[in-house]
């Protein structure tokens, strides 16, 4: 009775649990990256993204006393705020990196040489001195404070809109779009013509050509990088957008032709034959019948090609990136940020989420065609 057609398998629960685990493994890091990209550096360094909505108590980055001194009875003083406009509450503070929680709010710390410092629980501080403090080195305040959730869009502004960074991540974002869009459209156009010819046109050597295309699927692209770059240099292309477009087109064509050919060969033969009887040419059949019916396969390959070219670093390193011309892509720019801003995790989180946001939009907008395109030709 267990094998009756239409009955559910006894392992269906295992399949559902496995799917849920896979979804969770993908979803949690993505949500964590999104939340972290809107947090401040202090909060990222003190707590995980899952606690972003709760009040956090952490040791904050030291803040140096600053402000204009004013004369008071018995000397001079400087007043200021540790958290201007903020709602943090200080629970402990100190003036020494080795004793950051030496004092509690309201205590008066003797700094020597006639100077005293006090910090309130709201973060306001008063530094007094018996002599003028003009030109003197101001002390630093180490504070432990509880702060409400703090979210900001400054991280995205810094990497995309800040004029000082427009030659960085903002320029890399534009460069990546410039590489990805043509490198996705060109192989689809070429492969669609080739797939129709291999599926519906009879010519000598067609079977051998199909076998050669299948064999090219297993050839590592790393084997062709240097010879292809030398060819580009010899013909005058060198490093540039045209070279990287052609490289991505060449590396993506075998899969595109194979996928589209399997889909087109499974289209109803009667439609093609009736069109030929009515006097339609191969080009008319291709553009008016085959292409509209092959949209699921075209969309399926477009997803793969877009994701590959958008996340690519190796091909861009070889055929495009040139520091003297400012041609770089987001993957390379993020690697550079890891070296130059390794401590600014909020900037790295925002940059990383920007790099995955566009592929996510493309995938979810076209994912309904993915399964139909991949299963093309698998069942007869």
DSSP string, 178-233: HHHHHHHHHHHHHHHHHHHHHHH---TTHHHHHHHHHHHTTS-THHHHHHHHHHHH
Written as six digits, the tokens of 212 are: 């050669």
pLDDT of residue 378: 44
CATH 1.10.3720.10 describes domain 157-374: yes
Residue 121 to residues 92, 94, 103: CA-CA distances in angstroms?
8, 13, 11
Q: Whole-angstrom Cα distance, residue 79 to residue 105?
A: 15
Q: How many CB atoms lie within 10 A of CB 361?
A: 10
pTM: 0.70
pLDDT of residue 371: 60
H/E stretch holding 258? helix 241-264
Task: Show me where the domains of the chain are located.
Answer: 13-53, 57-147, 157-374
Tell me the backbone φ, ψ of residue 89, rounded to 5 degrees.
-120, 120
Q: How do residues 247-267 score in pLDDT, each as one tens digit?
A: 999 899 998 999 889 888 888
Q: Whole-angstrom Cα distance, residue 141 to residue 159?
A: 30
The answer on pLDDT for 5 being more than 70 is no
CA within 13 Å, CB half, 148:
3
Of all residues in the chain, the percent with pLDDT exceeding 70 is 89
pLDDT of residue 1: 46
Lowest-pLDDT range of 4-8, 46-50, 66-70, 338-342: 4-8
């Amino acid at each position: 009775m267990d094998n009756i057609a239409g009955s559910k398998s006894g392992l269906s629960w295992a399949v559902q649990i496995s799917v849920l685990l896979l979804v969770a493994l993908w979803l949690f890091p993505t949500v964590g990256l999104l939340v972290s990209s809107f947090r401040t550096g202090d909060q990222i360094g003190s707590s995980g993204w899952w606690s972003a909505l709760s009040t956090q108590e952490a040791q904050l980055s030291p803040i140096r006393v600053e402000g204009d001194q004013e004369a008071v009875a018995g000397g001079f003083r400087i007043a200021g705020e540790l958290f201007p406009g903020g709602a943090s509450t200080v629970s402990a503070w100190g003036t020494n990196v080795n004793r950051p929680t030496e004092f509690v709010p309201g205590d008066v710390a003797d700094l020597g040489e006639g100077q005293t410092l006090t910090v309130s629980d709201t973060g306001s501080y008063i530094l007094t001195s018996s002599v003028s403090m003009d030109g003197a080195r101001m002390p630093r305040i180490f504070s432990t404070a509880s702060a409400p959730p703090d979210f900001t869009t400054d991280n995205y502004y810094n990497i995309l809109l800040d004029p000082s960074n427009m030659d960085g991540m903002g320029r890399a974002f534009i460069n990546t779009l410039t590489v990805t869009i043509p490198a996705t459209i060109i192989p689809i156009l070429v492969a669609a013509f080739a797939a129709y010819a291999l599926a519906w046109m009879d010519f000598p050597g067609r079977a051998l050509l199909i076998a050669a295309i299948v064999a090219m699927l297993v050839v590592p692209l790393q084997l062709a990088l240097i010879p292809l770059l030398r060819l580009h240099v010899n013909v005058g292309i060198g490093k540039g957008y045209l070279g990287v477009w052609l490289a991505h087109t060449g590396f993506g064509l075998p899969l595109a032709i194979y996928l589209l050919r399997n889909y087109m060969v499974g289209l109803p033969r009667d439609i093609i034959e009736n069109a030929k009887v009515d006097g339609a040419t191969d080009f008319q059949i291709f553009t008016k019948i085959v292409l509209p019916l092959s949209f699921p396969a075209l969309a399926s390959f477009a997803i793969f090609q877009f994701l590959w070219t958008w996340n690519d670093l190796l091909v861009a390193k070889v055929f495009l990136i040139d520091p003297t011309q400012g041609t770089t892509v987001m993957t390379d720019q993020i690697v550079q940020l890891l070296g130059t801003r390794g401590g600014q995790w909020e900037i790295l989180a925002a940059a990383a989420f920007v790099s995955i946001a566009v592929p996510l939009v493309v995938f979810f907008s076209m994912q309904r065609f993915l399964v139909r395109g991949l299963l093309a030709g698998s069942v007869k």
